[in-house]
Each structure stands twice: as structure tokens, then as C-alpha cells.
Amino acid sequence: MIKDWHGLLGTFTGVALLTVAVLPLAVLVTRARARRRRAAGFPPASAWRTSSAEVGIVYGTVPWAWMILLPGAAAGTATGRTSLVPLSDLVTMSTGQVVGNLLVFAALGALVPLRFPAFASTPRIAALAAACSVLLEAAQYALRLDRVSSVDDVLLNTAGAVLAALLSRRWWSPSVDRPLPVPAR
């Protein structure tokens, strides 16, 4: 039975199915966190916004990171491969790979500024996404997953986060996240 689970969750299809399956849990966690914030004195809109951003960052990023870290056929035996020449792999990537790389940190780019106002600038989002992407590519290499660690992946992952940040920019308002004053009793 455990082997069946590993066989399913170790595939792109399995990760996608699990992501859809945990959507109700993500909604429940968002609701619980928003209730807790409202009880702590946050305005309802701020409580929902912050809670949705937190859960959305995790829900929108973890499945992509999981897929990036899925092992290839010769994992553990193949030496790590790298491609450090910018834009050299881009011409060989399929449209699906390019779109997938753009989506890896899109949730992070769109939602981090809502949760962490200090990141509410495009250069900061780019730096965060690039750092996270470099960590994933380094993990691919270090864990010998039989995958290519490419600078083009880092560039596309970062570009996706920046594009998502630019699209969500109008919702970045740090003043909304302050709790309401608690009345004296």
C-alpha cells in the first residue's frame, strides 16, 4: 500500500491530484486563521486578507516546489548537472516547461506583499523569488535528483513572481493590516 502511495505522489499527476484534494483543507485553515485574527482585534477584511495570503502562499507554492524536487529515473546515481549560461536552456524548453517555471513562485510574488508589507516592492519580490529559486536548484543538484539545475529556471521562476507581483500591486496596502484597538474594560 505504501508503495502505491509513493508511486502516485511521486508523479506530476499525483501532486496535482493531491493539490486539488487538499483544497477544502486550505479553505478551512484560511477560515480558522481569519476567525482567530478577528478575535484578536483585526478588522474582518484585514483578517481575511492576511489569512488568505498566508494559506495562498503555501498552497500556491508547495506543490510546484514538490514537483521540482521529484527525482528523475537515475536519481541518486547520476551526478548533478548544471547549466549556468543564461538563456541557453530557454530555447530547448517546451511551452509547458516555460509556463510551469513562470508559475512556480507566482503565488509568492502575488501574495507575500499582502502578508508582509516590507516586501511590497518589485525588487524585493524579485530578490526573494530568486533566492528561493536558487535554493530549489541547489537542492536538485545536491540531492542528485537526475535533473538539470539551470540558471534559466531561476530567471523564469523570478520573472513569474515579478509578473504576479505587478498584477497584484493594486492590492498592496500596508495600512489595512493593523489590528483595531481593544476597548478598555
Tens digit of each residue's pLDDT (9 = 90 or more) over 47-61: 999 999 999 999 999
Q: What is the pLDDT of residues 170-184, one digit of tens each?
A: 888 655 445 555 555
Residue-level pLDDT at 1: 45
Residue-level pLDDT at 83: 83
pLDDT at 62 over 90: yes
Residue boundaries of the structural domains of the chain: 2-173
Burial of 13 (0-12, 13-18, 19+ CB in 10 A): exposed
Ordered alpha helix ranges (H), the chain? 2-9, 12-21, 23-39, 44-68, 95-103, 106-115, 122-142, 151-168
Average pLDDT over residues 25-36: 97
Q: What is the mean pLDDT of the chain?
A: 87
pLDDT at 17 over 60: yes
Distance of CA 159 to the CA centre of its chain: 13
Distance of CA 3 to the CA centre of its chain: 28
pLDDT at 185 over 60: no
Report residue 169's pLDDT band, with 50, 70 and 90 as the boundaries. very high
Average pLDDT over residues 116-132: 96
Q: Which of 3-17, 70-84, 132-146 shows the lowest mean pLDDT across its residues?
A: 3-17
Q: Comparing 8 with 167, which gets the higher pLDDT?
A: 167
Burial of 14 (0-12, 13-18, 19+ CB in 10 A): middle
Q: State the amino acid at position 67 in one-letter form.
A: M
